Structure 1
Amino acid sequence: MSNPRLDVKVHQRLPLKLVLQALETASFAVLHAAIYSNFADNAVGKMLQEQLRIGQLKQLYILQLQPHAHWQDEFAAILRPKPIEKPAIPSLYQQSHAWCQQLQEQFPHQLHFHLIKSLPLQPILLIGNRIFAGQYAHSQTTSADGLWLEIAVAEQQQIATRFLTPKLTTTLDNITLRYIDECRFAYQQCLS
Structure 2
Amino acid sequence: MEIEENAALIVIDVQKGFEYEFWGRRDNPEAEKNMAALIDRWQETGRPVVFVRHDSPREGSPLMPGTEGNAFKDFVEERRGRGAGPEVLVTKTVNSAFYGEPDLDAWLRGAGIGQVVIVGIQTNMCNETTARMGGNLGYDVVFPLDAMHTFDLAGPFGWTRTAEELTRATAVSLHGGKFARVVTTEDVLKGTAA
User: Which TM-score applies when normalising by structure 2?
Assistant: 0.40
Bigger RCO of structures 1 and 2 (CA < 8 A, at least 6 apart): 1
User: Which TM-score applies when normalising by structure 1?
Assistant: 0.40
